[in-house]
Every structure is written in structure tokens, then in C-alpha cells.
């Protein structure tokens, strides 16, 4: 219990360094990762992190040749930055000079640079009188080895990335959603793209020691992807992504401090993945459960409106009078069954749903009659359906005999403004006459 207390309140020096570093890294990764996700360049971060590996091995060799130990973190990160930027440049070069798409170019660069890095690290191990132990930690991450100087470096870069993301939010937003429009306004799209990739490179390189080059892409993308399920507002998404990244860093490094055999990088990614899984199902904006509920409501609405329109069209066919003087009479259950390809059970369910909405006045198992509100809703639904049919016939040149099914797919989502616009375009105020014959079973 005492250990938990000490980790929770950051009483130990090393734990304090590690937890604060991963929180700052998580916030910075969540912010810039959101733009990377919206720019549809998630794999770019992966290619960048893998391209850092050769630079780490080469920087080690250069520092040894200059008489050093080769273990200076700053020197290793400078080497990683150089080859990382070189890898991104290769991706852009392949994409711009050939017909190869982004994903293929990133796949090529990612695998080639990682293979080169593994080969260089293998060579480094054979250098006589030099210990290269610890370089492999950049592949999987080792936050426990973090020093105060590492914390200062990581914090400085993290704060720089956060400030850069906030100050350039408007420019990055336009770049992500409509770079063609930004180019037409004379904005330096390529320069903004490079600045965004530079910020991604910075957070990737300083994150190598914390989570490793294999897992840093998860730290960049998962918080942003999880935040996307909760909101459609970019500002809120950025705040949520930063919060999820910081929370993952705090929980992951704290659990790793309590259970030293578990590497912090893996636990951080697993915590972020757990948040992503929760968001995937329960997200307020795009979660699976919310979408499922919305689809269920829409399916019920469509079925109910088909039922009401079916009843109205049967009454309309039966009473050959002005639609404004139509009388709400009982409709036989068999007439409704013949109206559409409904099964008996499905029709009974539709009637039950309509009755729940107070659209059915009476149903005795043989016939039903609409309530006052149901009759009004049936007239409105039929009118919207006919207006859309008339619009398709007059403006889309669709044959009257084929327009019914097309109108069926759209009539349920017509807003009041769209209905008013249709009325103005067609010059119709009342319920129009059906443009095709009503097939009503007798």
C-alpha cells in the first residue's frame, strides 16, 4: 500500500521524472497526432519512427570515432532526427516523382530503413572495445533509464510541439480538411505540410526512449482516434486527444512503476488501447452503440412512415375525391399486406410501433384506423414523397414508373427547409396527385 501511495503522489525522484515525462509526451502526441490522423497520414509517423533507427546506430559510431562513449542521448536523437527526416523526404520523393501512392511509398521506406537500422546495430555490436549495450532500448523503449537532462529535453520539445499545434491550429485545420482551397487562397501548403511533419518528427524522436520506435505510432494515433468517437468539433477533439494521451502516459508509467517487470511503453499503449476500445463502443458522436441506436430509430421511422403512407394511399384510391376532403376510414389488414412486401409479423410490428407513437386510433386484428395525429402525419409523409417524385421526374428526367423506389430512399430525411424549397421549385402547395398508378389490392 505504501508503494502505491508513493507512486500515486510521485514521492520518488525517478518515478516523478518518468510519469511527468510520459504525461507531457502523451499530451503533445495527442495534439499533433490529431492533425496527422485528419490529414490521413497515420502511416507517415510509423515510417518516420522506423527511419530513425539507422540514425541511432550511425550517431553511436560517429560519437565513438570522435572519442566519446557513444551513449549521449542528445547525439543519438540528432542522428535519429537526420535519418527520420531523410525517410520522410524519401516518401515525398517517391510519391511526387512516381505513380506510387502514399501507403506504398511509406511501406517501402518503413521496411528499408528499419532493415538498414537492424543491420547497422548488428555491425555496432562487433566494434571492438566499445559497449553498445542499451541501444536496443530505442526499439522497445525504456523509460526507467530516464535522467533529469532527458526530462528537460523531452519537456522542452513537448511544450514546443503543443505551442506549435495551438498557434498553427487554423492553418493545420484548413490543410487537413481542404488543402486545395488553401492553395487557391495562396497559402504555403507545402511549407505548412513540412512544419506539421517537423512537429511529428520532434515528438517521435523524443518519444523513442519512452515507448520505443515500434510503439510511438500508437501514442500518436490512438488518442486522436479515440477522441474522434466523442466529438465532431475539432477544438474539443484536440483537448480530448491531449487528455487521453496524458492519461495513458500517467496510468501506463504508474502501473509500470508498481510492476517493474512490465515495460512502460507497452503498458502506456495498452492503456491507450483500452480507452480507444471504450470510445469505440460508447463514443457520443461516432460510437458503435450510438450509431446502432440511430440506425434502429431511423429503421422504425421509415417503417412507420411507409405504413402511414400505405394507409393514406389506400384511402386516396378508395375515395376518388379532393385529397383535402379525404375521410379517415378503417383500412382492411389484407389491403395493407398486399400494399408492400411485408410479412404478417413485420406488419404487426409496424402497427405496434405506430400505435406506440399514438398514430393508430383502433386496431381489432382485421382493420385499423388512424388517429388524428396519425392521419396528419400520413398526409405529410405522402406529400413529401410526391414532392420528391415530381422533382425527380421534372429535374432528373426519371420515368414516372421508376420514380417510386428512388423517392422512397430520400423522403424520410427531407427537412422542412428542403420541403419548402421543393414547393417553390415545383409551384405546388397541396398534396400532388401520384405520378404513377397506385397499386392497391382489392
| pLDDT for res 323 | 63
107-113, long-range: CB < 8 A, 24+ apart: 107/43, 107/47, 109/47, 109/50, 109/51, 110/43, 110/46, 110/47, 110/50, 110/51, 111/50, 113/47, 113/50, 113/51, 113/53, 113/54, 113/83, 113/87
SS3 category, 371: coil
With bands split at pLDDT 50, 70 and 90, how would you rate the model's confidence at 322? Answer: low
The contacts of residue 80 (CB under 8 Å, 6+ apart) are 52, 53, 55, 56, 59, 138, 205, 208
- Residue 330 falls in which region: left (phi positive, over 0), alpha (psi -120 to 50) or beta: beta
Integer-rounded Cα radius of gyration of the chain: 32
Residue 234 confidence (pLDDT) above 90: yes
Query: What pTM does this model have?
Result: 0.80
With bands split at pLDDT 50, 70 and 90, how would you rate the model's confidence at 383? Answer: confident
Could you read off the pLDDT of 10-46 as tens digits, one per residue? Answer: 878 888 888 898 999 999 999 999 999 998 888 888 8
pLDDT (average), residues 296-314 = 90
DSSP per-residue letters across 2-47:
HHHHHHHTT-SHHHHHHHHHHHHHHHHHHHHHHHHHHTT-HHHHHH
| pLDDT for res 411 | 74
191-218 burial: b if 16+ Cβ within 10 Å, else e: ebbbbbbebbbbbbbbbbbbbbbbbbbb
Could you read off the pLDDT of 278-297 as tens digits, one per residue? Answer: 999 999 999 999 999 999 99
From residue 250, how far is each of 21, 198, 230, 434 by CA, in Å?
9, 25, 21, 65
The contacts of residue 93 (CB under 8 Å, 6+ apart) are none
Rounded Cα gap, residues 187 and 261, in angstroms? 50
Per the document, the length of the chain is 442
φ/ψ of residue 414, rounded to 5? -75, 125
| pLDDT for res 133 | 67
pLDDT (average), residues 89-99 = 86
Determine the longest span between alpha carbons in the chain, in angstroms: 104
Residue 419 confidence (pLDDT) above 80: yes
φ/ψ of residue 319, rounded to 5? -105, 95
| pLDDT for res 441 | 41
SS3 category, 311: helix
384-402 burial: b if 16+ Cβ within 10 Å, else e: bbbbbbbbbbeeeeeeeee
CA neighbours within 13 Å on the CB side: how many for 6? 10
Question: How is residue 279 annotated by DSSP?
Answer: H
Residue 228 confidence (pLDDT) above 90: yes
116 is written with which cell numbers? Answer: 538498414
Question: How is residue 368 annotated by DSSP?
Answer: E
CA end-to-end span of the chain, whole Å?
80
Amino acid at each position: 500500500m505504501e508503494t502505491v501511495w508513493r507512486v500515486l503522489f510521485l514521492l520518488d525522484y525517478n518515478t516523478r521524472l518518468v510519469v511527468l515525462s510520459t504525461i507531457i509526451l502523451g499530451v503533445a502526441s495527442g495534439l499533433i497526432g490529431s492533425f496527422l490522423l485528419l490529414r490521413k497520414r497515420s502511416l507517415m509517423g510509423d515510417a518516420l519512427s522506423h527511419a530513425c533507427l539507422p540514425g541511432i546506430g550511425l550517431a553511436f559510431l560517429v560519437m565513438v570515432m570522435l572519442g566519446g562513449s557513444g551513449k549521449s542521448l542528445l547525439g543519438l536523437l540528432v542522428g535519429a532526427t537526420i535519418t527520420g527526416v531523410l525517410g520522410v523526404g524519401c516518401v515525398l520523393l517517391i510519391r511526387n516523382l512516381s505513380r506510387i501512392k502514399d501507403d506504398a511509398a511509406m511501406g517501402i521506406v518503413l521496411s528499408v530503413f528499419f532493415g538498414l537500422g537492424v543491420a547497422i546495430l548488428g555491425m555496432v555490436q562487433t566494434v571492438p572495445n566499445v559497449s553498445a549495450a542499451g541501444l536496443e532500448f530505442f526499439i522497445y523503449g525504456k523509460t526507467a533509464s530516464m535522467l533529469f537532462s532527458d526530462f528537460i529535453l523531452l519537456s522542452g520539445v513537448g511544450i514546443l510541439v503543443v505551442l506549435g499545434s495551438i498557434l498553427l491550429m487554423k492553418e493545420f485545420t484548413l490543410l487537413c480538411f481542404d488543402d486545395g482551397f488553401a492553395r487557391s487562397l495562396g497559402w504555403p501548403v507545402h511549407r505548412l505540410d513540412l512544419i506539421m511533419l517537423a512537429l511529428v518528427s520532434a515528438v517521435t524522436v523524443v518519444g523513442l526512449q519512452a515507448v520505443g520506435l515500434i510503439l510511438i505510432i500508437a501514442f500518436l494515433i490512438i488518442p486522436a482516434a479515440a477522441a474522434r468517437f466523442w466529438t465532431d468539433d475539432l477544438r474539443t477533439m484536440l483537448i480530448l486527444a491531449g487528455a487521453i494521451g496524458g492519461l495513458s502516459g500517467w496510468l501506463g508509467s504508474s502501473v509500470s512503476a508498481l510492476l517493474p517487470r512490465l515495460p512502460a511503453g507497452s503498458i502506456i499503449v495498452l492503456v491507450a488501447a483500452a480507452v480507444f476500445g471504450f470510445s469505440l463502443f460508447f463514443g457520443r458522436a461516432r460510437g458503435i452503440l450510438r450509431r446502432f441506436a440511430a440506425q434502429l430509430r431511423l429503421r422504425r421511422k421509415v417503417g412507420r412512415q411507409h405504413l402511414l403512407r400505405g394507409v393514406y394511399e389506400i384511402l386516396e384510391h378508395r375515395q376518388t375525391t379532393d385529397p383535402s376532403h379525404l375521410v379517415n376510414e378503417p383500412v382492411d389488414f389484407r389491403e395493407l399486406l398486399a400494399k408492400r412486401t411485408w410479412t404478417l409479423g413485420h406488419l404487426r410490428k409496424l402497427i405496434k410501433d405506430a400505435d406506440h407513437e399514438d398514430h393508430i386510433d383502433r386496431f381489432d386484428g382485421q382493420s385499423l384506423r388512424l388517429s388524428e395525429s396519425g392521419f396528419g402525419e400520413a398526409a405529410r409523409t405522402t406529400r413529401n414523397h410526391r414532392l420528391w417524385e415530381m422533382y425527380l421526374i421534372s429535374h432528373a428526367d426519371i420515368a414516372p414508373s421508376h420514380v417510386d423506389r428512388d423517392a422512397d430512399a430520400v423522403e424520410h430525411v427531407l427537412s422542412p427547409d428542403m420541403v419548402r424549397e421543393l414547393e417553390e421549385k415545383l409551384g405546388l402547395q397541396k398534396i400532388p396527385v401520384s405520378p404513377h398508378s397506385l397499386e392497391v389490392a382489392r
